[in-house]
Structure 1
Amino acid sequence: MSFDDFDKKPKSRFSGSWLASVVIAALVGSGTTVVLVPELIKSNIIKLPQVTQTWSNSGNPVSVTPVSVNTDIVKAVNKVKPAVLTVVNLQKVRGFFGSPEQEAGKGSGVLLDNQGHIVTNNHVVNGASDVQVVINNENVPAKVLGVDAFTDLAVLQVPADKVKDIQPVQLGDSNALQTGEPAIAIGNPLGEFDQTVTVGVISAKNRTIPLQDSKGQVIYEQTVLQTDAAINPGNSGGALINIAGQLVGINSAKIATQGVEGLGFAIPIDEAKPIIDQLITNHKVTRPALGVSIQGEVASIPASYKAGLPINYGVVVGDVASGSSAAKAGIKSGDILAKIDDTQINTFLDLRKYLFSKKPGDTVQMTLYRDNKPQTVKVQLGELQN
């Protein structure tokens, strides 16, 4: 069979006038379209892609259509990025010509409101003789309103007119975060790459990391969010945000050990906010105090030294400050503090963390052991002197 055999099929019963009608209708339609299309485009009813013409190596034109990407992550970043600022730590150095100030380091900070309040880490401004914040390429002097070493937080303030064109960050709910949801870190890594964005997930909640004083002694255990979004030196004090562009954490630390990747930490905003509020209002954080030093932990005492002691937990009281809450309650050196209210105390950090959940003036019940015998005392907590 050849292709010519198709011409031998019976002709359609429709007359040739049908085809002519179609052709005429098409021509009329095309004519109408030719008239209407320019007007539809001008009225933005029909949208055409923007086409950019470039030239290949061979000299032939190549059409490129740009792609507009506006994902939720991009929206969140654009919403928050202007509020993440560079914080400069200036310190005086001794020299032949007096004590000029030099830049000791840079970190990040987040604009909280239109009054110019900025939150950052305590270690970003620690030791500074002066602090500056880079706003629109201008180094603006900042006042350190207050710092808190126990949570590694600090609040600065710059003149309100310097931030009038910047939208402050919106606070989120860190307690509502779920492991695996997107986490976006914005900061100033290495003090050079301002408003750098890295993206990961919330790797875990309620982690704890030790905080040390200037002597290297652990003074507190900070509850943190863990994320695999890259956090590098200079990111400290920057923003960890959720997909809605809300601040859920203050970037604080990372584990920088060979072979370890993706272990960054941020202070949850729900824990940071009460501290921030106190630093803005009172310029310090008010915490309760018991008035004792701790010699050690019962669990680490050799068995020969605790014969007859019915428990293997608690902490051993060292010095008791004269006139302190502990002294007034009759607590003595050598007593073993085992419980506060119904909370068992295993370490000095357990004791401090429970006390810090209270306020000065609160009354707690303490279970202690003296001469291997239990007794309970009520203690009205005093105020910790920073």
Structure 2
Amino acid sequence: MGFYDDFDTRPKRQSPLKWFALIVVSALVGSGTTLALVPTMIKSNWINIPSATAPALDKPVGTTGVTVNVNSQVTQAVNKVKPAIVGVLNLQKTNNFWSDQSQTQETGSGSGILFDKEGHIVTNNHVVEGASEVDVVIGDQQVKAKVLGQDKYTDLAVLQVPADKVKDIQPAQFGNSDALQIGEPAIAIGNPLGQAFAQSVTVGVISATKRDLPVKDPETGQELMTQTVLQTDAAINPGNSGGALVNIAGQVVGINSAKIAMTGVEGIGFAIPINEAKPIIQQLMNNGKVVRPMLGVAGYNLSDVPEEYRPDVPVDEGVLIKTLSPEAKSAGLQRGDVIVKIDNQDVKNMSDLKKYLFTKQPGDTVQVTVYRGHNQKTVSVKLQTLQN
């Protein structure tokens, strides 16, 4: 917005004497009218006259302020977790055009959650993917971090910084994401758009507790599996990735991961449930990778398939097999089968199937019950190793 000095069109300055006369006349007219109306206004109770015993003001008006208690549950939850939210910087080596020498520069940033006194930090895999070095911003200091492990399927990574760098910070406490209810408060804490907005807080609700999002191979685009996520309308922006989704008790219930960013869409963000993240975090700390079994099938939730494209089966829930590995095919499974049980555990969707499979180990044999048309069939399938 510009500032314009329109001096040529300003009104001419009037004589001070004329202004003074105008003010005096106005004051007299106003005072005279008021004096004439006061008795009538008092008689009609439009004006209250304080009694002679009314206390006088001890202090001039405006010398004291009003104190408002803003120590709400939200502020308590934020204060509990906020110190444990750190910045994560992705540093990569690039070639200098002029000197033909490589140099390290920041190519991206995100957020992370300090969860123990040993300096372990969880973040998203995509925050640190491709990094030659990773730095963590803790308060006003930038610290080199070691990447202990990454998992592209769950989009999780675990870092570690020296314990003495976080000795004064209370680690975040993990909550129970299975106990979340739709509509309860959800607080997102992270670094949207980088360190300039470090530890920003946005507040919303849990919009849904079990949304299935496809996980695709970044190189081939092939759908590898589905991941169950929390949905929230708490604002999540670039840089929030890896930050905390917190409940009203100040416990981390999710790790902010993604949002739907398109014209006309507002308030649809996603977080990895902490109950699903915890075993992955443990494996990344212990092994540097996640060893998980694979049934060898890819498919859809039957309930999500339009009626006209569903196979003729006597159920409305299950997993419709779209593609399968040679091992799964040789075991007796077929394209178009609908998985309804695995080891007598009901399978209503891909989330049920994945959760049960991740309790097993590669090499285990499971019993898979499917509907092929109206016929029910059970086959034995030896689980393979899912390649990271």
Question: Normalising by the residue count of structure 2, what TM-score does the alignment of the two structures yield?
Answer: 0.71
Look up the match of 1:320.
326
Q: 2:160 aligns with which of 157, 176, 184?
A: 157
- CA distance 1:130–1:73, change in 2 (3 Å): same
Q: 1:381 aligns with which of 363, 380, 383?
A: 383
Look up the match of 2:208.
204
Q: Does 1:213 align with 2:214?
A: no
Checking the alignment, whether the CA contact within 8 Å between 2:202 and 2:234 is kept in structure 1 is: yes
Q: 1:237 aligns with which of 238, 242, 247?
A: 242
Q: Which residue type is aligned with residue 85 of structure 1?
A: V
Structure 1 position 289, deviation (Å): 2.6
Q: 2:367 aligns with which of 348, 351, 365?
A: 365
Q: Deviations over 1:100-127 (max 9, x none)?
A: 1111111000001000000111111111
Look up the match of 1:331.
331
Q: For the residues of structure 2 that align with 1:275 and 1:261, how far apart are their CA atoms?
A: 30
**SS of match in other structure, 2:210:** strand
Q: Does 1:226 align with 2:221?
A: no
Checking the alignment, whether the CA contact within 8 Å between 1:109 and 1:119 is kept in structure 2 is: yes
Checking the alignment, whether the CA contact within 8 Å between 1:366 and 1:377 is kept in structure 2 is: yes
Look up the match of 2:282.
277
Please provide the CA RMSD for this pair.
3.5
Q: Does 1:193 align with 2:197?
A: yes
Look up the match of 2:273.
268
Checking the alignment, whether the CA contact within 8 Å between 2:82 and 2:199 is kept in structure 1 is: yes
Q: Deviations over 1:14-61 (max 9, x none)?
A: xxxxxxxxxxxxxxxxxxxxxxxxxxxxxxxxxxxxx9x9xxxxxx86
Structure 1 position 249, deviation (Å): 0.8
Structure 2, gaps ≥5 residues long: 1-58
Q: 1:125 aligns with which of 123, 128, 149?
A: 128
Checking the alignment, whether the CA contact within 8 Å between 2:86 and 2:139 is kept in structure 1 is: no
Structure 1 position 194, deviation (Å): 0.2
Look up the match of 1:94.
95
Q: For the residues of structure 1 that align with 2:184 and 2:301, how far apart are their CA atoms?
A: 39
Checking the alignment, whether the CA contact within 8 Å between 1:317 and 1:333 is kept in structure 2 is: no
**SS of match in other structure, 1:235:** coil
- CA distance 1:365–1:247, change in 2 (3 Å): same
Q: Which residue type is aligned with residue 105 of structure 1?
A: G
Q: Deviations over 1:224-270 (max 9, x none)?
A: 11111111110111011111111111111111121211111111111
Q: Which residue type is aligned with residue 110 of structure 2?
A: G
- CA distance 1:80–1:351, change in 2 (3 Å): closer
Q: Does 1:138 align with 2:141?
A: yes
- CA distance 1:93–1:362, change in 2 (3 Å): same
Checking the alignment, whether the CA contact within 8 Å between 2:227 and 2:351 is kept in structure 1 is: no
Q: Deviations over 1:135-187 (max 9, x none)?
A: 12111111111111111111111111110000001111111112111111100
- CA distance 1:295–1:177, change in 2 (3 Å): closer
Q: Deviations over 1:345-377 (max 9, x none)?
A: 89999876654453324321235799x998643
Q: Which residue type is aligned with residue 174 of structure 2?
A: L
- CA distance 1:350–1:74, change in 2 (3 Å): closer
Q: Once the two structures are aligned, what percentage of the paired residues are identical?
A: 58
- CA distance 1:285–1:380, change in 2 (3 Å): same
Checking the alignment, whether the CA contact within 8 Å between 1:220 and 1:353 is kept in structure 2 is: no
Q: For the residues of structure 2 that align with 1:348 and 1:222, how far apart are their CA atoms?
A: 8
Q: For the residues of structure 2 that align with 1:347 and 1:69, how far apart are their CA atoms?
A: 44
Look up the match of 1:63.
64
Look up the match of 1:246.
251
Structure 1 position 210, deviation (Å): 2.0
Q: For the residues of structure 2 that align with 1:348 and 1:271, how far apart are their CA atoms?
A: 14
- CA distance 1:133–1:376, change in 2 (3 Å): same
- CA distance 1:82–1:184, change in 2 (3 Å): same
Look up the match of 1:289.
294
Q: For the residues of structure 2 that align with 1:200 and 1:377, how far apart are their CA atoms?
A: 46
Structure 1 position 189, deviation (Å): 0.4
Structure 1 position 90, deviation (Å): 0.8
Q: Which residue type is aligned with residue 179 of structure 2?
A: A
Checking the alignment, whether the CA contact within 8 Å between 1:185 and 1:239 is kept in structure 2 is: yes
Q: Deviations over 1:60-79 (max 9, x none)?
A: 86432443421111111111
Structure 1 position 201, deviation (Å): 1.3
Checking the alignment, whether the CA contact within 8 Å between 1:278 and 1:284 is kept in structure 2 is: yes
Checking the alignment, whether the CA contact within 8 Å between 2:226 and 2:350 is kept in structure 1 is: no
Q: Which residue type is aligned with residue 367 of structure 2?
A: Q
Structure 1, gaps ≥5 residues long: 1-50, 54-59
Question: Normalising by the residue count of structure 1, what TM-score does the alignment of the two structures yield?
Answer: 0.71
Q: Which residue type is aligned with residue 78 of structure 2?
A: V
Q: Which residue type is aligned with residue 79 of structure 2?
A: N
Q: Which residue type is aligned with residue 190 of structure 1?
A: L
- CA distance 1:141–1:196, change in 2 (3 Å): same
Look up the match of 1:39.
none
Q: For the residues of structure 1 that align with 2:235 and 2:300, how far apart are their CA atoms?
A: 38
Structure 1 position 198, deviation (Å): 0.8
Look up the match of 1:116.
119
**SS of match in other structure, 2:239:** coil
Q: For the residues of structure 2 that align with 1:154 and 1:282, how far apart are their CA atoms?
A: 12
**SS of match in other structure, 1:106:** strand
Checking the alignment, whether the CA contact within 8 Å between 1:320 and 1:332 is kept in structure 2 is: no
Structure 1 position 296, deviation (Å): 10
